[in-house]
A and B are shown apart, each in its own frame.
Chain A
Amino acid sequence: MSDDDPVVLLVEDERDLADSFGSLLDDEYDVRVAYDAQTALDLYDEAVDVALLDRRMPGMSGDEVLRHIRDEPGDCGVGMLTAVDPAPDIADMGFDEYIVKPASGDDLMSLVETLLQRTTCDEALRRHYRLTNKIALLEEYLEPAELADSEEYQRLNEELADVDRTASEAVEDLDSADVGAILRSDSQP
């Protein structure tokens, strides 16, 4: 580990799992591990590049930690790493990626790489990714009838249409190397 390594904040209340994930990440990243939400907030600062948050924890939830992080200065990539299946309430959450546990070590490493790449994206493109991920998650976990009744799902699609109009300019400026780099660093488990 060097001073230049990206900083990863890992928040997981299952200590064994947190330690295991922390060890995996430790070779390549400056890892800060928190077993509860309050410790996570104490460890969070602008130096954090990536935050991996469990949603369901005793006391303050990962969702609340996410809100605090987004209220603070800094713009780290946030991945939810959780056993909670996605529901319409994810529409208003400020995460970049969402993985439902169990997750492998490869899943974890890919997630961090994706989130690091995401922080370098144009803001419009990053919003596009957030929205498409949420839409894809809801389409995967909700039944068609639930989607049809979901105001959140409709709103996400409307927001995506708005964002795409803006993001279009950013995408048009990409060359083939940019496209290749995005796809390589953005591989999903």
Chain B
Amino acid sequence: MTDTTNPTAGDAVAETARSFDPGTNVLVVDESGGEALPFSLRHTAADEGVAVVTTDHSAPSVADAARRSLADSARLDIVDCTGKSTGVDTPVVDSLVSAGQDLPSVGEATVDTVQSGDSTALSTVHLGSMSTLVARSTVQQVYKLLYMVADQVRANGLVAFYAWDGPSDAKTLRILGQALDRRVSLEGRGEPTVRSSTEWSGDDG
């Protein structure tokens, strides 16, 4: 792995595009909320395809945020698991599908998206948010979802970001993080800290 750079929040996309190797699963902890998706997009090359699976942010807001970062030619797929069906301008989004809000439905939709990566030229998947999924089910259930999705991400050579929005507890993050490869904490305005799974497993209490 060569993904040890710590880009600052204001870095341009091109300067951070190779921060994470293909096949890497990254837990993005964003206690203040709202910064995880922009972080994911900053770590995607502007002309590469992105799929966003959203459980809380509306499809139009995701599309708006994504299009500010991505090149016009870049593919953008949105899987809307918010339960609030809203339309998005067709030219803005290449694919918009709705899926159930429950964990199994989110899991099915995410795996479908990851496995379609080859045919749709995706390089990055953003899944948000883990905190919402835990609230809807259990930590163990979400861990199992992450375990299965993360393996598919590795097999398909994508980079996946899993957002944790809002307050967190160390034990939950440690359990979820065991299924993933990297963890980034978006704290303050300084450089995010990128850590491997083994680095964080022993220090979160």
Contacts and interface: CB of A to CB of B under 8 A. Distances in A.
Interface of A: 128-129, 132-133, 136, 139-140, 144, 148, 168, 171-172, 174-177, 179-184, 186-188
B104 A184 contact: yes
Contacts of A186: 141, 144
Interface in B130-185: 137-141, 143-145, 147-149, 151-152, 154-155, 171, 174-175
A20 B145 CA distance: 33
Chain A, interface SS category: helix
B72 interface: no
A177 B108 contact: yes
Chain B, interface SS category: helix
Closest 3 CB pairs of A and B: A183-B104, A180-B108, A176-B111
Nearest to A133: B140
Contact of B148 (A132, A139, A171): A171
Q: Which of A128, A136, A181, A183 has the most CB of B within 10 A?
A: A183
A128 to B, nearest CB: 8
B140 A179 contact: no
A132 B143 contact: yes
Contacts of B202: 148
A173 to B, nearest CB: 10
Interface in B40-69: none
A112 to B, nearest CB: 17
B125 interface: no
Contact of A175 (B115, B144, B149, B175): B115
Contacts of A188: 138, 140-141
Interface of B: 103-105, 107-109, 111-112, 115, 137-141, 143-145, 147-149, 151-152, 154-155, 171, 174-175, 202, 205
A39 to B, nearest CB: 32
B147 A176 contact: no
Given A180-B108, A184-B104, A174 B148 contact: yes
A128 B202 CA distance: 21
A73 to B, nearest CB: 29
A182 B148 contact: yes
Contacts of B140: 132-133, 136, 188
Nearest to B109: A176
B136 to A, nearest CB: 11
B97 to A, nearest CB: 12
A141 B9 CA distance: 38
Contacts of A174: 111, 148, 152
A118 to B, nearest CB: 12
Q: Which of B138, B141, B151 has the most CB of A within 10 A?
A: B151
A136 B111 CA distance: 25
Given A136-B140, A144-B205, A188-B138, A179 B174 contact: no
B31 to A, nearest CB: 21
A172 B4 CA distance: 27
Contacts of B155: 172
Contacts of B109: 176
Contacts of A128: 147
A187 B138 CA distance: 8
A175 B116 CA distance: 11
A106 B186 CA distance: 39
